């Protein structure tokens, strides 16, 4: 469909759409912003091609959606701490990459992110795609019995798997990954927050599944051992191919995803090639 010269091309039946006819380096009219916002809510992750943004323009677009986050464990761009450079150098052959497992961003916050805007500056000739999964579909396709079991349950989230002292970050430092990014391991990553397992999206009113393998540790009132079988089932259920879309990056591409109702995965299949993208994260609200 075409709305005020912005063409919205759905990527899959599950989620994702490319928006054509938009130059994000220029100020947006109210109608243009409304069209982008509507596509964002309808498709959960939206993509723009052939963009040329300065850091200031990247930040200005993101601020239209809310306040901006500064990542607690990864260094921001010099002079622009809200911009997180996500880099893998060509000579970085570590076994893990930043964002290389299915997750929703910063659910270890009391108020997890609304969304993130990732801008590609340098991309490999092959590989380095990103996948997203639809958490509305993940919830809606559960059996009625399991929905009843999960309704009212809360889960504990923290960042210990990703940034704790015995985490992947520590492993990456041991393997030499600090050649690519300044990411630190910290005891602060052990701090816990709780969120409902079934979340209601604050703008659409739709229910969705809100657990992820990176940051969800256990159900409240359950041990980790007791929680593991059900959580493992849910993580596998969430990311089945029918719920996903896959995006092939080009230099100047932008992805803007709704962190409240998606998960994503950055593929680590481009060893020997450089990849750099800049991420700005919009602050969100407390899940309910």
Environment class of residue 122 by beta-carbon count within 10 Å: exposed (0-12), middle (13-18) or buried (19+)?
middle
Give residue-wise pLDDT tens across range 61-110: 999 999 999 999 999 999 999 999 999 999 887 777 888 899 999 999 99
> For position 34, what pLDDT does the model report?
95
Q: Which two tokens stand for residue 122?
A: 């340098």
Give residue-wise pLDDT tens across range 129-159: 999 999 999 999 999 999 999 999 999 999 9
Put simply, whether the predicted model's pTM sits higher than 0.75 gets the answer: yes
H/E element, 57: helix 55-63
CA nearest 62: which of 91, 89, 33? 33
Place of tokens 């590609």: 120
> For position 3, what pLDDT does the model report?
41
Give buried/exposed letters for 29-61 (b at 16+ CB in 10 A, else e). eeebeebbeebbeebbbbbbeebebeeebbbeb
Question: Could you tell me what percent of the chain has a pLDDT over 90?
Answer: 85
Give residue-wise pLDDT tens across range 241-266: 999 999 999 999 999 999 999 999 99
> For position 2, what pLDDT does the model report?
42
Marked catalytic residue, from 157, 195, 264, 275: 264
Please say if the pLDDT value at position 268 is more than 50.
yes
> For position 79, what pLDDT does the model report?
96
Q: Tally Cβ neighbours within 10 Å of residue 152.
A: 9
> For position 170, what pLDDT does the model report?
63
| Mean pLDDT score of the chain | 93
pLDDT higher at 170 or 160: 160
Please say if the pLDDT value at position 55 is more than 70.
yes
Q: Could you tell me where the DSSP H helices lie in 10-167?
A: 30-43, 55-63, 135-140, 144-150, 160-163
DSSP 174-187: HHTGGGT--B---G
Q: If pLDDT is split at 50, 70 and 90, which confidence band does 5 have?
A: confident
Distances (CA, A) of 49 to 15, 32, 34, 121: 17, 16, 19, 12
- Phi/psi at 44 (5° precision): 75, -35
The lowest-confidence range among 2-16, 59-73, 120-134 is 2-16
In the annotation, is 49 catalytic? no
> For position 171, what pLDDT does the model report?
64
> For position 33, what pLDDT does the model report?
96
In the annotation, is 105 catalytic? yes
Q: For the domain 2-282, what is the CATH code?
A: 3.60.130.10
Marked catalytic residue, from 103, 199, 260, 278: 103
Marked catalytic residue, from 43, 80, 92, 105: 105
DSSP 195-227: EESEEE-TTT--EEE---TTTEEEETTS-HHHH
CA 130, 267, 172: angle at the middle one, nearest 5? 130
């Amino acid at each position: 469909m075409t709305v005020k010269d912005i063409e919205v091309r759905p990527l899959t039946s599950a989620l994702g759409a490319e928006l054509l006819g938009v130059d994000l380096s220029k100020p947006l009219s109210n109608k243009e912003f409304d069209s982008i916002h509507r596509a964002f809510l309808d498709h959960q992750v939206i993509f723009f091609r052939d963009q040329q943004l300065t850091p200031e323009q990247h930040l200005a677009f993101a601020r239209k959606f809310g306040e901006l986050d500064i990542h607690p464990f990864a260094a921001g761009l010099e002079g622009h701490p809200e911009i997180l450079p996500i880099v893998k150098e060509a000579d970085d052959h570590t076994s893990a990459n930043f964002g290389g497992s299915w997750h929703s961003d910063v659910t270890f916050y009391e108020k997890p992110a609304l969304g993130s805007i990732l801008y590609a500056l340098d991309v490999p000739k092959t590989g380095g795609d990103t996948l997203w999964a639809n958490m509305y579909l993940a919830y809606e396709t559960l059996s009625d019995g399991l929905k009843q079991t999960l309704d009212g349950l809360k889960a504990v989230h923290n960042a210990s798997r990703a940034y704790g002292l015995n985490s992947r970050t520590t492993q990456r430092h041991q393997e030499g990954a600090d050649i690519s990014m300044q990411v630190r391991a910290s005891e602060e990553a052990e701090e816990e927050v709780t969120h409902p397992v079934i979340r209601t999206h604050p703008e659409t009113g739709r229910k969705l599944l809100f657990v992820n393998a990176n940051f969800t540790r256990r159900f409240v009132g359950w041990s980790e051992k007791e929680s593991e079988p059900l959580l493992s089932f849910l993580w596998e259920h969430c990311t089945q191919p029918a719920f996903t879309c896959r995006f092939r990056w080009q230099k100047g591409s932008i992805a803007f995803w709704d962190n409240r109702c998606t998960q994503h995965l950055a593929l680590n299949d481009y060893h020997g090639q450089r990849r750099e993208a800049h991420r700005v994260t919009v602050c969100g609200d407390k899940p309910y």
